[in-house]
């Protein structure tokens, strides 16, 4: 099922000509209206007319999160402020937030992109979707809201939090679809279990749209099992748009990037050089259809790779893997690159654990120590030490085989690790505490 | 030598190794006026397991669950042994070893009758152990 069949199944050749026209137009407008881009292009001796093919994008400078901060609040806006009808901001824990600006046309495009996402999950008029993304400055809440409303579904704007009430509404209203972060989906499922309610059996939930955080394959399975729905991964970021940049179809094999709206590159985060399909690197996005805040070559810091083959669903847009890490989440432990997502994958392969964990990196007399705290599931606990020690050993072996380094495993009581209702904070790095 | 043996429920609790956690657990029992009849603490490097005999193990598990502890009740054997040198060997260790049964763990109760000791014994095959002890 498509929302916009013509766009979503456009032949590659036609798609690329649309992309080139839109790229040229975007660069031109950015150059004319945004001093930041004009200066950046001038410094490299590039004029908008130099963009003659899609591969010329590599001549353009990158834009980073720091650039958003440095130009805060209005430095990247390309239209007169009286044309802006909405402003979102990132949750930025430190320093200045990242602000995003939208004209009415931008909001319309955004709603369409989210309508495509939800139609790919077979959401339609007659469905009831509970939107448990946080409403407010965060793009998740209103982004999902507008898309679902455009599709014609009934939206329950429950926002995040108060899991018991979420469950009550899901059951009493006969909610068929859920939108929230994957970690919050797990919290809802877990709360249901605590209340003695198996949502997989007692609810009408059929599909879920989960984003704003990485969601590994085993985590997806966990969500699907406890909620009894098909969990689709969606992707987006405030700097570029919000949710709707990429999404899975019912095949659940990679996320289709909305290429008519974004130009996609995968680069080597060290050298900045473009990588061929199939290779893991940093996702770089250029907006092709945004008025208020066009963005050139934004370095997302998300690690992905692109699928070289086409998808049986008929969409011609390229697919990327789930986010397998963040360039800035990457921990270097004893010289080895470690992504928290790898740890999560390893943990979820072991039976007898809860899907909550904490990574602690410390330095013990010049040597980095990686310690993983993980909750023991109540089911495997008995009166004996041996099964727990076996479990601990199994976890350590899984981690070692994935990471290639020795790790310490600590079993903790279920329910004791911090549950996050937004972006999960999984890593505590104690190594530089001493230096500060 | 045969000894009075019976099956009872014990409560075991998973405890993280962190200061104060055992105290918190004991407080929960104290607040509900639950007396501990027997207790042992087994520890691995990072965690421990407390095993206890309580007057009512189902109530004990419930109370501990409510307080956020991971607790479970399991079956063990309670054996009365004569309180004298060799008492434990004659009535428990020897009969079990003759029957080819391994003792997983054993701990003593705090409230025996005069001249008696009461021990809690865990063996994987409780039926076989009960038989072996009854024969002596
Ligand atoms: Zn597809």
Q: Which CATH class for the A331-433 domain?
A: alpha beta
B48 in the same domain as B13 = yes
B96 in the same domain as B48 = no
* pLDDT score recorded for residue B119: 92
Does residue A433 carry a pLDDT above 70? no
Predicted confidence band of residue B1 (pLDDT cuts 50, 70, 90): low
The rounded percent of chain A whose pLDDT value lies above 90 is 70
Average pLDDT (A307-331) is 87
Q: What 8-state DSSP symbol labels residue B119?
A: E
Q: Is the ipTM of this complex over 0.90?
A: no
B70 in the same domain as B103 = no
Task: Please indicate if any CB of chain A lies within 8 Å of the CB of B51.
Answer: yes
- Give the domain range for residue B62: 9-75
B74-90 pLDDT per residue, tens? 999 999 988 889 989 99
Q: Give the domain A1-326 fold.
A: Rossmann fold (3.40.50)
- Ligand 1 centre to CA of A254 (Å) is 8
Tell me which chain A residues have a C-beta less than 8 angstroms from the C-beta of B122.
Answer: 383-384
What is the distance between the alpha carbons of residues A81 and A291, in angstroms, rounded to a whole number? 12
Predicted confidence band of residue A328 (pLDDT cuts 50, 70, 90): low
CATH number at residue B99: 3.30.70.260
- Ligand 1 centre to CA of A141 (Å) is 25
B97 in the same domain as B50 = no
* pLDDT score recorded for residue A423: 46
* pLDDT score recorded for residue A62: 97
- Ligand 1 centre to CA of A210 (Å) is 17
Does residue A212 carry a pLDDT above 70? yes
Helix (H, G, I), strand (E, B) or coil at A269: coil
Does residue A424 carry a pLDDT above 70? no
User: What's the per-residue H, E or C state across B26-83?
Assistant: HHHHHHCCCCCCEEEEEECCCEEEEEEECCCHHHHHHHHHHCCCEEEEEEEEEEEEEC
A344-376 pLDDT per residue, tens? 878 888 888 887 888 888 887 677 888 999 998
Average pLDDT, chain A: 91
Does residue A144 carry a pLDDT above 90? yes
What is the distance between the alpha carbons of residues B95 and B78, in angstroms, rounded to a whole number? 15
Q: First-to-last CA distance in chain A? A: 54
* pLDDT score recorded for residue A263: 98
A275-288 pLDDT per residue, tens? 999 888 899 999 99
* CB spacing of B70 vs A382 below 8 angstroms: no
Q: Note if the pTM is more than 0.90.
A: no
Q: Into how many domains does chain B fold?
A: 2
- Where does a domain end: B26, B59, B75? B75
Distance (Å) of CA A1 to CA A9, A248, B78: 11, 12, 66
Tokens representing A226 are: 């406890």
Matching residue, tokens 């072991």 = A350
Predicted confidence band of residue A434 (pLDDT cuts 50, 70, 90): very low
Does residue A93 carry a pLDDT above 70? no
């Amino acid at each position: 099922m498509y929302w916009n069949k013509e766009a979503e199944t456009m032949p590659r050749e036609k798609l690329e000509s649309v992309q080139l026209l839109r790229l040229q137009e975007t660069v031109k407008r950015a150059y004319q209206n945004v001093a930041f881009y004009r200066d950046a292009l001038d410094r490299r001796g590039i004029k908008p007319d130099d963009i003659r093919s899609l591969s010329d994008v590599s001549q353009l400078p990158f834009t980073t999160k720091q650039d958003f901060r440095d130009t805060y609040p209005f430095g990247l806006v390309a239209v007169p402020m009286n044309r802006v009808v909405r402003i979102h901001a990132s949750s930025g824990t430190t320093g200045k937030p990242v602000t995003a600006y939208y004209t009415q046309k931008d909001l319309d495009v955004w709603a369409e992109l989210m309508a495509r996402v939800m139609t790919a999950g077979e959401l339609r008029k007659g469905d009831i979707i509970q939107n448990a993304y946080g409403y407010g400055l965060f793009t998740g809440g209103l982004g999902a809201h507008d898309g679902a409303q455009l599709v014609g579904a009934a939206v329950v704007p429950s926002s995040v939090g108060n899991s018991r009430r979420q469950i009550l509404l899901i059951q009493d209203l006969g909610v068929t679809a859920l939108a929230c972060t994957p970690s919050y989906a797990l919290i809802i499922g877990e709360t249901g279990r605590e209340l003695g309610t198996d949502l997989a059996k007692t609810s009408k939930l059929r599909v879920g749209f989960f984003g704003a955080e990485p969601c590994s394959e085993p985590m997806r399975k966990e969500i699907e099992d406890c909620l009894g729905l098909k969990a689709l991964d969606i992707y987006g970021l405030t700097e570029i748009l919000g949710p709707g940049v990429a999404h899975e179809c019912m095949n659940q094999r990679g996320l289709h990037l909305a290429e008519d709206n974004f130009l996609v590159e995968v680069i080597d985060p060290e050298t900045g050089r473009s990588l061929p399909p199939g290779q893991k690197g940093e996702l770089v996005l250029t907006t092709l259809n945004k008025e208020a805040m066009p963005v050139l070559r934004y370095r997302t810091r998300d690690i992905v790779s692109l699928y070289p083959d086409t998808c049986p669903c008929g969409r011609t847009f390229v697919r990327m893997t789930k986010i397998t890490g963040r360039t800035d989440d990457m921990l270097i432990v004893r010289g080895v690159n470690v992504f928290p997502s790898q740890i999560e994958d390893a943990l979820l392969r072991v039976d007898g654990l809860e899907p909550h964990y904490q990574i602690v990196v410390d330095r013990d007399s010049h040597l980095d120590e990686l310690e993983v705290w993980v909750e023991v599931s109540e089911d495997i606990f008995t009166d004996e030490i041996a099964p727990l020690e076996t479990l601990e050993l199994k976890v350590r072996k899984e981690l070692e085989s994935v990471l290639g380094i020795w790790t310490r495993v600590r079993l903790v009581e279920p329910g004791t690790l911090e549950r996050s209702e937004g972006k999960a904070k999984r890593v505590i790095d104690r190594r530089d505490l001493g230096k500060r | 030598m045969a000894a009075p043996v019976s099956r009872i429920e014990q409560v075991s609790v998973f405890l993280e190794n962190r200061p104060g956690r055992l105290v918190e657990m004991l407080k929960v029992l104290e607040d509900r006026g639950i007396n501990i009849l027997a207790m042992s603490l087994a520890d691995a490097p990072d965690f421990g397991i407390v095993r206890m005999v309580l007057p009512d193990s189902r109530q004990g598990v419930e109370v501990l669950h409510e307080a956020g502890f991971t607790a479970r009740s399991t079956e063990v054997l309670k054996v009365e042994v004569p309180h004298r040198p060799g008492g434990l060997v004659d009535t428990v260790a020897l009969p079990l070893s003759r029957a080819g049964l391994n003792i997983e763990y054993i701990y003593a109760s705090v409230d025996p009758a005069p001249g008696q000791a009461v021990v809690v014994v865990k063996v994987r095959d409780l039926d076989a152990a009960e038989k072996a002890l009854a024969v002596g």
